[in-house]
Each structure stands twice: as C-alpha cells, then as structure tokens.
Amino acid sequence: MLGHRINGKRLGIIGMGSIGQAIARRAKAFGMSIHYHNRKAVHPSTEAELEATYWENVEQMLPVWILFR
C-alpha cells in the first residue's frame, strides 16, 4: 500500500475551537508541527500541550507555511 508520510509535516489550522484543537491533537500524535490562526491565542497551557505556533493573521502564516514545507 502506497501513501505519504506525514511525520514532520506542518499543519495550518484556521480556527482553534474545539474541532481545531481535536485535529491538532491528532496531528501532533502523528508527529506533525501545528501552526494556527485564531482571533486570539489559545490558553498557554493548551498551546504548550500541542506545541503549537500562533499566528496573528493568516497573511503571515500562509507564506511561511507554504515556503518551508
């Protein structure tokens, strides 16, 4: 069976509500790095648990996320 390895890849999440956080937890379990945009940063303990990087706006997040895949 062929597939793509996702370990070490970056995941950009727009909206870090309960669904975004659930996706981030699953992605972290696969070894992905988490980058997210939300109206405000999540609680520092959640951000530390997910090892997530907060971006204040999507325009900042996307170019970095695309260039350094």
Domain CATH code at residue 38: 3.40.50.720
Q: What percent of the chain has pLDDT over 90?
A: 68
Asked whether residue 23 is domain-assigned, the answer is: yes
pLDDT for 42-51, tens place per residue?
999 999 999 9
Asked whether residue 54 is domain-assigned, the answer is: yes
Give me the domain span that covers residue 40: 10-67
DSSP per-residue string spanning 12-32:
EEE--SHHHHHHHHHHHHTT-
Joined tokens for residue 3? 């597939």
Q: Tell me the average pLDDT across 30-54.
A: 96
pLDDT of residue 1: 59
pLDDT of residue 54: 97
For the whole model, what pTM was predicted? Answer: 0.83
Asked whether residue 18 is domain-assigned, the answer is: yes
Asked whether residue 4 is domain-assigned, the answer is: no
